[in-house]
Amino acid sequence: MVNKLISQLASVEILTPKLDDTLWFFKDVLGLYEVGRKDRSVYLRGWEDWYAYSLKITEASTSGVKEITWRTYSEEDLYTAIKIIESKGLGLGWDNGEPDMGVGKGYKFMLPTGQVGKLVWEMKLWRASGNLRSGYRARPIKKPLQGVQAKDLAHLFVFAFDSNSLKSAVDLFKSLTWHVTEILKNGDQILTYWGAFNGTAHDMAIGLDPSGIPGRLNHLTFNVDYADDILRAADLYSDYDLEIVGGPIRHGITDSHSLYVKEPGGNLIELLHGGYINVVPDWEPVVWDTKEDENRWLYYWGHVKEAFWDGSPVPKDKVDPELRELIRQKLGK
Amino acid sequence: MVNKLISQLASVEILTPKLDDTLWFFKDVLGLYEVGRKDRSVYLRGWEDWYAYSLKITEASTSGVKEITWRTYSEEDLYTAIKIIESKGLGLGWDNGEPDMGVGKGYKFMLPTGQVGKLVWEMKLWRASGNLRSGYRARPIKKPLQGVQAKDLAHLFVFAFDSNSLKSAVDLFKSLTWHVTEILKNGDQILTYWGAFNGTAHDMAIGLDPSGIPGRLNHLTFNVDYADDILRAADLYSDYDLEIVGGPIRHGITDSHSLYVKEPGGNLIELLHGGYINVVPDWEPVVWDTKEDENRWLYYWGHVKEAFWDGSPVPKDKVDPELRELIRQKLGK
Amino acid sequence: MVNKLISQLASVEILTPKLDDTLWFFKDVLGLYEVGRKDRSVYLRGWEDWYAYSLKITEASTSGVKEITWRTYSEEDLYTAIKIIESKGLGLGWDNGEPDMGVGKGYKFMLPTGQVGKLVWEMKLWRASGNLRSGYRARPIKKPLQGVQAKDLAHLFVFAFDSNSLKSAVDLFKSLTWHVTEILKNGDQILTYWGAFNGTAHDMAIGLDPSGIPGRLNHLTFNVDYADDILRAADLYSDYDLEIVGGPIRHGITDSHSLYVKEPGGNLIELLHGGYINVVPDWEPVVWDTKEDENRWLYYWGHVKEAFWDGSPVPKDKVDPELRELIRQKLGK
Amino acid sequence: MVNKLISQLASVEILTPKLDDTLWFFKDVLGLYEVGRKDRSVYLRGWEDWYAYSLKITEASTSGVKEITWRTYSEEDLYTAIKIIESKGLGLGWDNGEPDMGVGKGYKFMLPTGQVGKLVWEMKLWRASGNLRSGYRARPIKKPLQGVQAKDLAHLFVFAFDSNSLKSAVDLFKSLTWHVTEILKNGDQILTYWGAFNGTAHDMAIGLDPSGIPGRLNHLTFNVDYADDILRAADLYSDYDLEIVGGPIRHGITDSHSLYVKEPGGNLIELLHGGYINVVPDWEPVVWDTKEDENRWLYYWGHVKEAFWDGSPVPKDKVDPELRELIRQKLGK
């Protein structure tokens, strides 16, 4: 029997030193809806995200990832998960959630790789009212008239600062019922794991950061409705002088279509289409090896630039001071 | 915590009175691979089905569905599921499986709606060898050079012969951990349920058959890789004189793209693209009402003909004699 | 040797009783750019139209087509064409053009079917300056971030009020070097002609109007960049409560993909993708017959509603008074 | 008035040292139909080519282009064109055509760049009979069930061996009514011209070959029906171990989508989608400069490898002996 503690990745908070430009990118180009503002933060959502928001953008002195939120399958699962986290000494305690956004209290923790995660049970499903309410009854809001019309949050790729932190993070998430689908090696060294809580090819990847700095993000990803939306996004990115870092490609790993761009604030943002559903109970992760497969795991066709490995924050060591301090306290790094 | 007994719909066996024509449709037009033959049966698979085959086509005096196979999450889950089935008096006992195809023994049961289901735990993952082995390491076989290149089995829509059988079937599947996503009503009467074991918008639908005859199939569905594959399939169907019953459309229910065709043997076959992932723990099924929504649940845009409701076997009462006898024994119908 | 007098359909002026709603449709939903306003008129363009504008929308008491503008291949060709027109008694004399829009004086004439046409030689190529200038050097302006991102004006379908006017109009345009590609008959009666000046499958169609009222429009058409833009447009039309009159379809005639919608002002607007290039010197028009082909000429796959035949103005006899008077004078109808 | 002598590129003959493998590529992967064989040559066509064949493949000791055939607009135009060619000393005399394929006698000539061209007037339109006859009345044959389903011949890119031959070839084709749409420069040096006889963005490009060897081909191109066919072709090329040389990309020049592959015989083959129609009478060619635009003319988004410049034959100096001798005679090279 499969016992899932966590149902899905629910939202990600990223940082940007250029809030207006970053909002132009996510709202005007990607077509996300703005659903709220508080202090220096703006809450955004795709038209088929189930909860109120899937992206929180906070103005800061740097770029990077601030907080990653997952929803558990039940209140009981939340406490089971907390026990697992606390047994590893990674707990950071409760916050009050985002009550205006229908998100209740959350339990924060440090990933062994230095990012801040949060687990939440109380989370209200969201549906637009008024003119933007869709007649498609399961669709939370009308498909927007704007931009690429990104559909919903798909996954994020967090960096591990060394092999130990990579292994510890994967062990943690496996104990939280994460299903590993594919693995990348370079000979004997494991470089990256892909897997999912939600039955897809991946809702998270964790991979080695050449920089060795904790707490960093490789990229954040939204799904699109059509494969041609990937091409259309490339049209817009190229016409509006955004830096395409890779794609259009088909990944070898996860068999999905993809396009990578640097948003004006410095974070790497991917659009994704396709991939597979994998709920095979006795699945053994597929293994790719750069010695044999070269870059085909990343781009079986198409091309990705070296800048794919940069991640954020930019520059690499400009980690958010508050996060830097937390990493020092919890991980001693 | 979500406790899933069943991981996924694994394969469907359909009947055809015109084996050669039906094989031409599935192999030459849809692009499924033939992986085996036994007696009057042929085993087919899409290029991203995980197990050896997802479609078994058996020559018979009629069309319709012969057997529906799901894989459990574990051996223990198989026995838990059998207990549930037997407690409802629906058990039909074990068969020997399809050892040549990597499928172990299965426990057969009668759906309250008159179709034959089967639960299997022992099922080997399948990977092509030789020239057709793909370099995409998670892809079980190269994408075919033929036809529409249907990707994998998506779902089936089984008919219920009356409201009681509909309710009983849904209750059975819910007790087997099926997650209902959307419901169609006509005022007070529930017409159809959509739901999934595997986290998608649906891997099965169960709906009222106007004919009132037990054991019938509305349609069987395969996923395609691109939305344009739906258009391309319409090109081929129309150029090769196949009867398009509906589409290209976008369903209101499940928010997916679709095209329906009658295969030469008489079964209604759908191609599907898109839809959503739904693993929301406290999801309340979305409700459509034909009084308010008219046909938008079926085709929010595009058009479907009345023949959509015909299903198979054709003619409606020409149910496979062996199945007819089983229905009489188990359901007294 | 092919001697072409007319190079292309350059722009169409349509009327609307609901200017704001019509502009919302063309700008926010279709993604056309506004490039100017004068009195009650607004000038719009797609991102790959060569000249300043391809659509002029004028507020009026009714809907329908006001003026159709073609560009000749040279100044000499303009005068040659005028001689042909005047020899048929259809001349209406010169206007001053749209100097602010780079369009010089034009010679106006009445089509035998009751619409007003205009021939222009002086027409400046247009290129955006400033932020919207595209780095794609042949692309006149950046691809918009808005809506369906309609690309350029494709064709229009004008109604003929009877068989004589249909024949006269086709004869006129053939004498102006229009290349007929396909014909629709109902037994002995010709219903519609498709053809082009510019080498495509059609830049104009002329067909019988069941209403018998002169000067009416069936529909106006813009190209889209991707076939999926047709699907995406259907998504937006259906979510924003616009009335889809037909599609997504593949036309039998011209072998193109299409979607029809009523814009809020009452005009039927088509989006088109694909079709063929046909510069075959000795091409004999392909003939379809509704007796044999039924509706396949219109929708080989997909579906179009009867409302396709309504056209504009709406109601059918509410023809613009000024146009009505011109028709009376020139055609005696 | 536009006076066109040549209506379109009608067919291209290429050479291959691996006839079977090359046929597998064009028939099984691209989905071209075989319509005839003679000696060591095979005749192929796309499903929307108007004449009997658009590609002739001839087994030889090398790869490369053997003959390029254009159809004139009339018999008179053929003789006018011959006069122009003979005035430049480039005539090679008549051949008997391909009577079995509906192609009459042709006048052969040497391009100033060393390839062999041919002009033909007598060319029969082609339509399949029997099972493959399409109900789409303008469609010459059913859309195939096989492979990428390439639609029709689009253009070829011939190499010029130096700047003088480039200029001479462009002058020749302009005198034959070729319309230049875009030009690539490197500072003062012109590298490539794109243009068309048929109103599209290009049906031929002529560009400098770094090798300086006369008579070589850069690539040959077929249109596809959908943009997603480009992605689908990349799926097949990558899964069947064909070498993708570039793409999927969007060209800056001609604004079209593209994918390049080496067919097993060594010729570079492009698939194309989109681009624009350009029949602007006073069009001034758009100019790109590699000093300013870098590679954006070639891939505004996406990526193309250096091998794009290789062309065929392979190795570069292995020009077909018969062609080599003709070049020596006519061009003294």
Give B-chain residues touching A8 at CB under 8 angstroms.
277, 279-280
Integer Cα distance of A227 and A271 in angstroms: 10
User: Assign residue D142 a region: left if phi > 0, alpha if psi is -120 to 50, beta otherwise?
Assistant: beta
Tell me what pLDDT residue A3 has: 74
C143: nearest CB among A134, A226, A235:
A235
Tell me what pLDDT residue D310 has: 96
Give A-chain residues touching C225 at CB under 8 angstroms.
232, 235
- Quick count: other Cβ atoms within 10 Å of Cβ A130? 5
Residue in chain D lying closest to B240 (CA): D142
Residue in chain D lying closest to B131 (CA): D240
CB contact under 8 A, A229 and C228: yes
Both tokens of C241, joined, read: 């409560």
Which backbone phi and psi does C232 adopt, to 5 degrees? -65, -40
A136: nearest CB among B71, B197, B300:
B300
Residues C174-224 have pLDDT tens digits of 999 999 999 999 999 999 999 999 999 999 999 999 999 999 999 999 999
Tell me what pLDDT residue D103 has: 98
Integer Cα distance of D44 and D62 in angstroms: 20
Indicate if the pLDDT at residue C2 is higher than 70. no
CB contact under 8 A, C135 and D227: no
Count interface pairs B-C at CB distance under 8 A. Answer: 42
Alpha-carbon Rg for chain A in angstroms:
19
Residues D236-274 have pLDDT tens digits of 999 999 999 999 999 999 999 999 999 999 999 999 999
Tell me what pLDDT residue C1 has: 52
Which parts of chain A have pLDDT scores under 70?
1-2
Indicate if the pLDDT at residue D1 is higher than 60. no
A29: nearest CB among C145, C226, C241:
C145
Average of per-residue pLDDT across B33-45: 97
CB contact under 8 A, D142 and B228: no
Q: Where are the domains of chain D?
A: 6-321
Give D-chain residues touching C73 at CB under 8 angstroms.
1-2, 281
Structural contact between residues B235 and B244, judged by C-beta atoms closer than 8 angstroms: no
Tell me what pLDDT residue B3 has: 74
Both tokens of C36, joined, read: 């100017």
Indicate if the pLDDT at residue D205 is higher than 90. yes
Tell me what pLDDT residue C10 has: 98
**In which residue are the tokens 């597979």 written?**
A276
Integer Cα distance of B275 and A139 in angstroms: 10
How would residue B92 be classed by pLDDT, with cut points 50, 70 and 90? Answer: very high
Tell me what pLDDT residue D3 has: 74
Helix (H, G, I), strand (E, B) or coil at A27: helix
* Chain D nearest CA to C217, separation (Å): 25
A227: nearest CB among D231, D238, D247:
D231
C239: nearest CB among A136, A226, A229:
A136
Average of per-residue pLDDT across C161-168: 98
Residue in chain C lying closest to A145 (CA): C147
Residue in chain A lying closest to B300 (CA): A136
Average pLDDT of chain B, as a whole number? 97
Please state, for a pLDDT cut of 90, what percent of chain D lies above it: 98
CB contact under 8 A, C145 and A235: no
Tell me what pLDDT residue C98 has: 96
How would residue D2 be classed by pLDDT, with cut points 50, 70 and 90? Answer: low
Give A-chain residues touching B74 at CB under 8 angstroms.
1, 281
Tell me what pLDDT residue D268 has: 98
- Superfamily covering domain C6-321: 2,3-Dihydroxybiphenyl 1,2-Dioxygenase, domain 1 (3.10.180.10)
Contacts of D15 (CB under 8 A, 6+ apart): D57, D58, D59, D60, D62, D63, D64, D65, D66, D265, D313, D320
Residues B112-134 have pLDDT tens digits of 999 999 999 999 999 999 999 99
Tell me what pLDDT residue A57 has: 98
Count interface pairs A-B at CB distance under 8 A. Answer: 141
CB contact under 8 A, B199 and A197: no
- Quick count: other Cβ atoms within 10 Å of Cβ A93? 8
Please state, for a pLDDT cut of 90, what percent of chain B lies above it: 98
Helix (H, G, I), strand (E, B) or coil at D322: helix
Query: Which parts of B121-267 are beta strand (E)?
Result: 152-160, 179-186, 189-196, 204-208, 217-223, 243-250, 256-262
CB contact under 8 A, D231 and A238: no
Residues A156-180 have pLDDT tens digits of 999 999 999 999 999 999 999 999 9
CB contact under 8 A, A301 and D250: no
Output the pTM of the full model: 0.97
Q: Are strands A55-59 and A116-120 parallel, antiparallel or unpaired?
A: unpaired
CB contact under 8 A, C303 and B301: no
Tell me what pLDDT residue D72 has: 97
Average of per-residue pLDDT across D281-287: 97
B145: nearest CB among D146, D227, D231:
D146
CB contact under 8 A, D235 and B225: yes
User: Assign residue A120 a region: left if phi > 0, alpha if psi is -120 to 50, beta otherwise?
Assistant: beta
Helix (H, G, I), strand (E, B) or coil at D27: helix
Helix (H, G, I), strand (E, B) or coil at D107: strand
Residues B138-175 have pLDDT tens digits of 999 999 999 999 999 999 999 999 999 999 999 999 99
Count interface pairs A-C at CB distance under 8 A. Answer: 56
Which backbone phi and psi does B38 adopt, to 5 degrees? -150, 125
Instruction: Tell me if the bond preceding B248 is cis, omega within 30° of 0.
Output: yes
Q: Which chains touch C (3 or more CB pairs under 8 A)?
A: A, B, D
Tell me what pLDDT residue B116 has: 98
Tell me what pLDDT residue A262 has: 98
Tell me what pLDDT residue A1 has: 53
Indicate if the pLDDT at residue B214 is higher than 90. yes
Q: Which helix (H) or strand (E) holds C81?
A: helix C75-87
Tell me what pLDDT residue A2 has: 60
* Chain A nearest CA to D232, separation (Å): 10
Q: Which chains touch B (3 or more CB pairs under 8 A)?
A: A, C, D
How would residue C4 be classed by pLDDT, with cut points 50, 70 and 90? Answer: confident
Instruction: Tell me if the bond preceding A315 is cis, omega within 30° of 0.
Output: yes
